[in-house]
């Protein structure tokens, strides 16, 4: 029976690795290893919750709840996911990754309960949903997103206004705007939090900004 349990844990780990690979391919905080460990850990806890106390059954004064440990996994993994959510200036990062960790734990628990079709089906559902929701083919689902930019420009009278005019022309809203003169140089360092239109690719920003003659450096954080 324990070999059967081990197969369940390995299967849960494979499902976790698939979700982790999708997250890693998008350069997110939690990748293959994190999702793998969460999936096998949740599967193990589910198996222990269901079968780990069978030797105590039938003894006087002992009553067991097979769902007790499993119930703690649901809330416990929430703390792990919460550690991946952070606020960067005016943008919340890591929400999808945290939700993915929580869902991966659920997949591990499903497979640990021998609900193979449910566990594998949810894995495929998450992968398909992530692929579709990040695709430009479903633009009606697109939402504006934010980017942090560091731009170093020459201290010219109309430089900042020309840059702001370029953003307005492309429908880019400035949420946060900070400038600082670099000591010993004739340059200004600008830190900008910008909201991009849903159909606008962040990779288009670099050539747009670099075409301005007074721009010396552009970095997307």
Four-CA torsion 49, 21, 123, 82, nearest 10 degrees? 60
139 domain residue, yes or no: no
Q: How many structural domains is the chain composed of?
A: 2
Mean pLDDT on 159-176: 82
140 domain residue, yes or no: no
Instruction: Give the pLDDT band (50/70/90) at residue 55.
Output: low
Q: Are 144 and 39 in contact (CB under 8 A)?
A: no
* Alpha-carbon gap, residue 13 to 179, rounded angstroms: 48
pLDDT at 141: 53
Q: Are 108 and 215 found together in one domain? A: no
| Token reading at 52 | 């780990």
Q: Are 111 and 161 found together in one domain? A: no
106 domain residue, yes or no: yes
Q: Which domain holds residue 160?
A: 145-220
Q: Are 127 and 154 found together in one domain? A: no
Instruction: Give the pLDDT band (50/70/90) at residue 11.
Output: very high
pTM, two decimal places: 0.63
In the chain, the percentage of residues whose pLDDT exceeds 90 is: 5
- DSSP string covering 81-123: HHTT-EEETTEEE-HHHHHHHHHHHHHHHHHHTT-HHHHHHHH
33 domain residue, yes or no: yes
Q: Are 23 and 130 found together in one domain? A: yes
Tally of CB atoms within 10 A around 37: 17
Lowest mean pLDDT of 7-21, 93-107, 125-139, name the range: 125-139
Q: Are 64 and 128 found together in one domain? A: yes
Instruction: Give the pLDDT band (50/70/90) at residue 3.
Output: confident
């Amino acid at each position: 029976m324990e070999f059967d349990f081990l197969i369940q844990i390995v299967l849960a780990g494979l499902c976790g690795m698939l979700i982790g690979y999708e997250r890693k391919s998008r350069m997110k905080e939690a990748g293959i290893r994190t999702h793998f460990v969460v999936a096998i850990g949740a599967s193990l806890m589910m198996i222990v919750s269901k079968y780990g106390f069978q030797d105590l059954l039938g003894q006087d004064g002992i009553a067991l709840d097979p769902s007790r440990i499993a119930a703690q996994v649901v809330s416990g993994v929430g703390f792990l996911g919460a550690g991946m959510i952070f606020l960067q200036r005016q943008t919340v990062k890591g929400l999808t990754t945290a939700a993915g960790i929580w869902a991966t734990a659920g997949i591990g628990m499903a497979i640990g309960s021998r609900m193979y079709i449910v566990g594998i089906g949810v894995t495929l559902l998450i992968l398909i949903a992530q692929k579709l929701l990040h695709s430009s083919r479903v633009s009606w689902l697109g939402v504006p997103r934010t980017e942090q930019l560091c731009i170093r420009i020459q201290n010219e009278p109309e430089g900042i206004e020309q840059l702001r005019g370029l953003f307005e022309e492309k429908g880019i809203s400035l949420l946060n705007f900070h400038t600082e003169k670099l000591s010993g140089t004739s340059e200004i360092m600008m830190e900008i939090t910008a909201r991009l239109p849903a159909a606008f690719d962040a990779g288009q920003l670099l050539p747009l900004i670099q075409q301005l003659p007074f721009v010396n450096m552009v970095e997307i954080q």
